[in-house]
């Protein structure tokens, strides 16, 4: 190829790179006066089939337009030309004079923190532009970042055009539905490996590049945490805590925990550079508690406590009742106002929501374990099953055989918690036949956006009676506490996987969904009414209440249902009584598949802190069945007016005691007792399946005590002065 003249203009002078997808050359442009050099990327389709070439030509034209738009950025090579020659395709781009970051790292091993910050800013500004064009690079790594000689700015090269076209041609020919899996080991996040890259995938790759620059270690040399799969790197370098936190968030294993845009990272870097910005991210409750302490100290100093007149108890008077009333109204109003003001959302989260939810988790962990639900059976796909089958996703034939074996024993419902929109030969026709059995429920995935949506198997519409979405609602701290029953999507109201299975089970007993008598928009199923959660339900503040959600009342920390393995079902080694008239859920529990979710029990289960998705769905089915059959109530919350009365009541109790008790140490002991009683009430209500606020009333008790007791001290001092003056 060396010396070849392309299009009568571009003379190949050396090879720049080569691979299975194509070749890259440096060429001279003979039509330029100075015969300037350029880069030529060459794609040679692997087939000369007419249909294959038509697909290649269409994808090539699309990619040309994308590269043309991207090339308008100063730090992305411009597209000079594109052409087809003898059914082979060529791109011509600017040649960037400079040194790849990979060569810098091979020579110097590491970069300083300041140099890495410059690298991050440079590339993030490029990614801002790239992502605004709805393009994901998918192969950010040191060798694709060239430090340009004239200005030392980084240039982002190799958008994978040749690789993308070659792979998409194969995909279209094979009629698969996956996005292209382009990337380099160590820099590619998990979602990109399965063909579903996001903008945050580029942020992950850039974060790993920065970590390599700081540690001198290739990403593949860094260990990962055995449970969370997070990369362990912080012990390999010494940098500021601020940069450490930014990189940590960029390279989280799960994309929902990362920064979601380049703009967000740049804004965080700007905050990091501001010396007056509190970037230490101390737990908000700590700072707010400190403020509370200061307020109490301002109300009454230790010296003033010692000036309280002799005696333990203070008599009630009109002044005392006025002080109690004013303090109670002020404290209650302040707390309620803080909970409602949108501008104080971080304060609300720190001062109210997080402690309330922590209390809910604590009580959930300590409630009696209901044990195995005999109505359910989980068929789990374990690591041993994956080794035996030697593949994942499992073949359609294996899934079809599993369903057929189970149906021999007449279960009421079989739920397949595996996406089956893409054929996994062999056995596709056999599987579709089994999936259309009337007692089978399949899944679809709504996802967070169109790119994340996965349709049901062929032959099923979104609103089909045998289709349920398997999306699981996750709180901001990544813990599952809520159950989504209905969701609006594409002009349909879809039902959840767990609700479909519960309905199928209950239908045999003549129980079908109806509307609640008091409100036709509320679901009634059997003996239970399922009121949807509002944004401020229970301890939540400004919760995302879209769809139709209820609180998830976990049945058990581990054993919500009997478990058998896929291998046991395939070998007919399952007790028929465990299957007959039961709800069967089929899904993965193998840790390597990463279908795992954090639950309130994770804090006490160090060895196995997360719960497989199929087990969470089993928990939901069990909860719905218990409620519909009147065996256990759903978790309920109070309406906002009742919560206001609850908080105000504790404020009055604290104010009365603060006025009545004169001695500080006795008052502290009494108020501590009040807090213990408050906790006891909340626990007692939880045993009756109610979740009521505990932290807001506790704060109200402390503030009311401080305010009323301080006023009492000042009032006693004034009385003493008046008596002294009268003498």
Catalytic annotation, residues = 139
Helix (H, G, I), strand (E, B) or coil at 515: strand
Residue 380: in which H helix or E strand, if any? Answer: strand 376-381
Dist CA 95 CA 403 (whole Å): 58
Whole-number Å distance between alpha carbons of 572 and 523: 39
Helices (H), 149-261: 161-174, 190-193, 199-215, 241-250
At 427, is the secondary structure helix, strand, or coil?
coil
Kindly report whether the peptide bond that precedes residue 426 is cis, defined as omega within 30 degrees of 0.
Answer: yes
Q: Quick check: 383 and 592 in contact, CB under 8 A?
A: yes
At 277 the three-state DSSP class reads coil
Radius of gyration of the chain (CA): 32
Question: Which DSSP string corresponds to 594-619?
Answer: --EEE-GGGGT-SSS-EEEHHHHHHH
Six-digit token string for 448: 């967070």
Q: Peptide bond preceding 393: is omega within 30 degrees of 0, i.e. cis?
A: yes
Coil/strand/helix, residue 109 = coil
Please name which of 284, 410, 250 lies closest in space to residue 352, comparing C-alpha atoms.
284
DSSP state of 343: G
Contact 157, 96 (CB under 8 A): yes
- The C-alpha atoms of residue 63 and residue 74 are separated, in whole angstroms, by 19
Largest CA distance in the chain: 117
Q: What are the CA-CA distances from residue 252 to residues 119, 218, 299, 683 (Å)?
A: 20, 17, 45, 36
């Amino acid at each position: 190829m060396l010396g070849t003249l392309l299009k009568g203009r571009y003379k190949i002078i050396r090879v720049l790179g080569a691979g299975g997808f194509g070749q890259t050359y440096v060429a001279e442009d003979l039509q330029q006066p100075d015969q300037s050099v350029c880069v030529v990327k060459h794609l040679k389709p692997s087939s000369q089939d007419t249909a294959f070439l038509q697909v290649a030509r269409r994808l090539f034209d699309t990619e040309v337009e994308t590269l043309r738009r991207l090339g308008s950025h100063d730090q992305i090579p411009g597209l000079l030309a594109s052409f087809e020659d003898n059914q082979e395709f060529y791109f011509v781009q600017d040649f960037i004079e400079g040194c790849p970051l990979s060569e810098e790292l091979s020579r110097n091993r590491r970069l300083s923190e300041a140099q890495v910050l410059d690298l991050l800013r440079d590339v993030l500004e490029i990614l801002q532009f790239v992502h605004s064009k709805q393009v994901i690079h998918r192969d950010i790594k040191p060798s694709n970042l060239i430090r340009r000689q004239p200005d030392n700015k980084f240039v982002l090269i190799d958008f994978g055009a040749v690789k993308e076209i070659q792979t998409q041609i194969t995909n279209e020919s094979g009629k698969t539905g996956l996005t292209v899996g382009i990337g380099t080991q160590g820099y590619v996040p998990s979602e990109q490996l399965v063909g579903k890259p996001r903008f945050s995938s580029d942020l992950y790759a850039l974060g790993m590049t920065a970590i390599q620059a700081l540690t001198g270690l290739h990403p593949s040399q860094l260990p990962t945490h055995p449970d969370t799969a997070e990369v362990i790197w912080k012990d390999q370098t010494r940098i500021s805590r601020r940069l450490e936190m930014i990189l940590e968030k960029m390279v989280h294993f799960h994309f929902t925990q990362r920064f979601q845009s380049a703009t967000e990272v740049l804004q965080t870097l700007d905050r990091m550079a501001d010396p007056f910005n509190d970037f230490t991210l101390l737990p908000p409750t700590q700072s707010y508690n400190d403020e509370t302490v200061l307020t109490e100290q301002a109300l009454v100093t230790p010296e003033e406590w010692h000036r309280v007149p002799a005696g333990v108890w203070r008599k009630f008077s009109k002044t005392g009742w006025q002080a109690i009333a004013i303090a109670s109204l002020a404290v209650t109003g302040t707390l309620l106002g803080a909970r409602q003001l949108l501008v104080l959302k971080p304060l609300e989260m720190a001062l109210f929501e997080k402690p309330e939810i922590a209390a809910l988790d604590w009580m959930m962990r300590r409630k009696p374990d209901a044990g195995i639900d005999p109505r359910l059976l989980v068929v789990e796909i374990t690591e041993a099953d994956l080794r035996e089958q030697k593949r994942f996703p499992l073949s359609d034939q294996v899934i079809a055989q599993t369903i057929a074996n189970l149906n021999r024993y007449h279960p009421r419902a079989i739920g397949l918690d595996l996406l089956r929109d893409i054929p996994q030969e062999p056995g596709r026709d056999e599987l579709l036949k089994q999936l259309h059995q009337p007692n089978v429920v399949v899944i679809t995935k709504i996802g967070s956006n169109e790119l994340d949506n996965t349709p049901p198997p062929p032959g099923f519409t979104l609103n089909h009676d045998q289709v349920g979405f398997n999306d699981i609602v996750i709180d901001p701290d990544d813990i599952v506490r809520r159950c989504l029953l209905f969701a609006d999507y594409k002009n349909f109201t879809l039902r959840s996987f767990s609700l479909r299975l519960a309905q199928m089970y209950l239908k045999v007993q003549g129980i079908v969904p109806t509307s609640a008598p008091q409100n036709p928009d509320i679901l009634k199923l059997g003996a239970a009414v399922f009121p949807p959660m509002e944004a401020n339900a229970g301890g939540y503040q400004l919760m995302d209440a879209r769809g139709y959600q209820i609180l998830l009342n976990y049945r058990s920390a581990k054993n919500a249902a009997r478990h058998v393995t896929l291998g046991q079902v395939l070998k007919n080694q399952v007790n028929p009584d465990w299957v007959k008239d039961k709800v069967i859920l089929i899904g993965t529990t193998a840790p390597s598949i990463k279908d795992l979710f954090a639950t309130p029990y994770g804090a006490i289960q160090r060895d196995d802190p997360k719960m497989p998705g199929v087990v969470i769905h089993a928990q939901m089915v069990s909860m719905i069945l218990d409620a519909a059959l009147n065996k256990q109530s759903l978790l309920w919350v109070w309406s906002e007016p009742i919560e206001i009365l609850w908080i105000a009541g504790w404020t009055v109790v604290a104010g009365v005691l603060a006025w009545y008790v004169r001695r500080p140490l006795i008052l502290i002991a009494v108020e501590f007792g009040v807090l213990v009683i408050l906790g006891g009430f909340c626990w007692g209500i939880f045993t009756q399946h109610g979740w009521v606020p505990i932290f807001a009333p506790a704060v109200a008790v402390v503030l009311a005590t401080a305010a009323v007791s301080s006023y009492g001290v000042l009032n006693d001092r004034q009385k003493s002065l008046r008596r002294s003056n009268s003498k």
